[in-house]
Amino acid sequence: MSIKNLKDFVETSSQKDLSQETFELESSHLLEVKLDGRVWAKAGSMVAYRGGVKFVRQGVLEQGLGNLLKKAISGEGTQLMKMEGQGRVYIADAGKKITLLRLAGESIYVNGNDVLAYEDGVASEIKMMRKVSGMMSGGLFNIKLSGNGVVAITSHYEPLTLAVTPDQPVFTDPNATVAWSGNLSPDIVTDISLGTLFGRGSGESVQLKFAGTGWVVVQPYEEVYFQQQG
């Protein structure tokens, strides 16, 4: 076991500026936001801050009527907050690994539970997947992020990106699916024969089918963000 004296601990764990970017990873699990204006983040993700920063939960006008209706139907949704002002904010989500992605006019779909933060130049829209038998209405939702700016997404452990081609569709466990390219629109499929082998279904396997050309990101972990009816 390695034991550090107090001075060494303070020096090695101290905050360091290695970039002028708005988003900078202090570690793979902790994100520093150099705030000068406004940034959106997952509500409850702030672990520390300094400076003149105001935190406001996402309101009615910011969400838009369509997003509010989708959230009301789903019974859930990613609760976002605005961080406004000037200062430094440190955010994290249950120790999950953080990945920073720069959008340059592109779009990406992210599991609603895996969006940590995004810059103000990025537009967001809640997307609902159609309900299937055996799932409660609070089931699968995701967020479409598009425009120009940096987004921070999270995953349990190291993510894996799988290529989707016209002749090779990819099937994933919804609980392990993190994100996918903006041009893909997955279908929800079931396979009773895989009910005890794939996913957390009881007698029925719920899968996402990605077909076309693009990519999908999965994590080596099944994150339970919806429940199934018994």
Kindly state the average pLDDT of the residues 21-25. 95
> pLDDT tens-digit profile of 160-209?
999 999 999 999 998 899 999 999 999 888 876 655 555 554 445 788 99
Chain mean pLDDT for the chain? 82
Cα diameter, the chain: 59
C-alpha dihedral sign at 105, 162, 194, 230: negative
H-helix segments, 4-131? 6-13, 60-74
Instruction: Report d(CA 41, CA 118) in Å as an integer.
Output: 7
Instruction: Report d(CA 112, CA 114) in Å as an integer.
Output: 6
How much is the pLDDT for 158? 95
> pLDDT tens-digit profile of 119-129?
999 999 988 76
5 pLDDT band, cuts 50/70/90, is: confident
Other beta carbons within 10 angstroms of residue 55's beta carbon come to 14
Instruction: Report d(CA 230, CA 76) in Å as an integer.
Output: 20
Q: Tokens representing 177?
A: 């699916």
Q: DSSP E strands: which ranges in the chain? A: 23-27, 30-42, 46-57, 80-91, 97-111, 115-119, 122-128, 141-155, 160-164, 170-172, 177-181, 187-191, 205-210, 214-218
Amino acid at 100: L
Position 44 pLDDT exceeds 60: yes
H-helix segments, the chain? 6-13, 60-74
Are 177 and 217 in contact by the 8 Å Cβ rule? The answer is yes
Other beta carbons within 10 angstroms of residue 63's beta carbon come to 18
Through-space distance between the first and last CA atoms of the chain, rounded to whole angstroms: 47
Instruction: Report d(CA 140, CA 190) in Å as an integer.
Output: 14
Position 15 pLDDT exceeds 80: no
> pLDDT tens-digit profile of 53-104?
999 987 544 555 455 444 444 444 568 899 999 999 999 999 999 999 999 9
